[in-house]
Amino acid sequence: MAKAKWLTDAEMLAWRGFIVRSVDLIAVITKDLEPFGLDGGDYQLLAMLSEAPGHKMKMCDLAETLGLSRSGLTRRMEGVLNAGYVSRVSDQKDRRVAFAQITKKGLTLIKKVAPHHVASVRRNIIDLLSPTEIAAFGTGFAKIGQQIDQKTKI
């Protein structure tokens, strides 16, 4: 059995802070979306589509980007489809390929909500940190993401 390399006090502070506060942070930011009838997953889906070329993405690519299975994406899209924020579009060349496309109604909503969402992100994260801390967050999570991506593609 390998001998554990225990966390230092600084490492434990970072780890426990992440574990305890990440869930709370997401909850606070998600709560700020409630007046618009959205949750964090809806917002992320609409934001991805609003930024995509032609405001649409292949369903399989959207699922991957959002970290969802195809069935998870189907469940995630149910509410935004019913609300008319997103539509399913078939590929004209290959009927087996389906796209999710944000509608005019969805674009109007995301343009209305985005400034409030960004203000929430600023208020609850960005404005509390120094530029050095923000840079460390960015590079740290990029490294973590790369390792996770490598492990999931094996």
Token pair recorded at residue 86: 């997103």
Distance CA 84, CA 76 (A): 14
The CA-based diameter of the chain, rounded to the nearest angstrom, is: 59
The identity of residue 80, as a single letter, is: V
pTM of the model as a whole:
0.85
What is residue 51's DSSP assignment? H
pLDDT tens digits, one per residue of 84-123: 999 999 888 887 889 999 999 999 999 999 999 999 999 9
Nearest to 92 by CA among 52, 54, 48, 49: 54
pLDDT tens digits, one per residue of 37-78: 999 999 999 999 999 999 999 999 999 999 899 899 999 999
pLDDT tens digits, one per residue of 138-153: 999 999 989 988 887 7
Four-point Cα dihedral 39, 40, 44, 45, nearest 10: -40
Burial class (CB in 10 A: 0-12, 13-18, 19+), 76: buried
First to last CA, the chain: 25
Token pair recorded at residue 142: 């990029």
Confidence band, pLDDT 50/70/90 cuts, at residue 154: low
Domains of the chain: 9-152 (1.10.10.10)
Q: Phi and psi of 96, rounded to 5°? A: -75, -20
